[in-house]
Chain A
């Protein structure tokens, strides 16, 4: 008798999903959706767009399972897909919006979003001020529970670069939010 998908480790679930098991892939989605969505929200800003991006990332992961060799953790791999999608979307949006640099303000603060406490809004604004790779490193290592190595796998960056992004990102966030770096 096969173990239930909920109890299996990621590698076993990936193997079963690769063989066509829908429950195994659903278990992977269920297990990692929180981390992947949180990451998408933090690098993208807009909740609806972030969820859409996270869903697409899981679909891309499903169709690319044959290429996944297990060198990075599954969630790091999917977060890497989200990151690449976010960069592509950002480049496309920048092209569409032209030169005026209004991109960051036009996203993330869309009309119709619930009013948030000032501190949360300030954090989102501060995150939006960080460069894309720094923001992604902060989103994974500080906001998420990724190790530096896992984040390096996800972002396809050297470990030292990720560490430096996290340190600089944290300092900058605290500075922008009026806190102190300690």
Chain B
């Protein structure tokens, strides 16, 4: 045990020099910088997730398009009128709860 303690003792000279070189125990600037980088990384991950989700959805719609077309055709004129409203609602949902949507 004494052996281990000896190993971890840097000696008085080194200990004093090492101790004088420490960063502050609390540094709001560092914390803010890390939080900013984490937020940026989180945003990039969300965007990547949304992009992949959107691509998959587009692919799915493309695949089922021929089946859906005859069913949707009678409502085409109504859907055309509703499109701007649906786009706005979809945008709000995506912005508010990106994880829930994709």
Contacts and interface: CB of A to CB of B under 8 A. Distances in A.
Interface of A: 22, 25-26, 29-30, 33-34, 37-38, 41-42, 51, 54-56, 58-59, 62-63, 119-120, 123, 141-143, 147-148, 163, 166-167, 170, 173-174, 177, 179, 181-182
A13 B6 CA distance: 33
Interface of B: 4, 7-8, 10-11, 13-15, 17-18, 20-27, 30-31, 33-35, 37-38, 41, 45
Given A120-B17, A148-B4, A167-B7, A25 B22 contact: no
Given A123-B14, A170-B11, A22 B26 contact: no
Contacts of A26: 31, 34-35
Contacts of A22: 35, 38
A179 B13 contact: yes
A181 B9 CA distance: 11
A34 B24 contact: yes
Given A59-B41, A148-B7, 16 more contacts: A29-B30, A30-B26, A34-B22, A34-B24, A37-B30, A38-B21, A119-B17, A123-B21, A142-B15, A142-B18, A147-B8, A167-B7, A173-B14, A174-B13, A177-B13, A179-B13
B38 A59 contact: yes
Contacts of B35: 22, 26, 29
Contacts of A37: 23, 30
Given A34-B23, A34-B24, A174 B37 contact: no
B93 to A, nearest CB: 19
Given A30-B31, A34-B25, A143 B38 contact: no
B3 to A, nearest CB: 9
Nearest to B40: A59
29 contacts: A22-B38, A25-B38, A26-B31, A26-B34, A29-B35, A33-B27, A33-B31, A33-B34, A37-B23, A42-B21, A51-B23, A55-B33, A55-B37, A56-B37, A58-B34, A58-B38, A62-B38, A63-B45, A119-B17, A120-B21, A123-B18, A123-B21, A141-B8, A142-B10, A143-B10, A167-B7, A174-B11, A179-B11, A179-B14
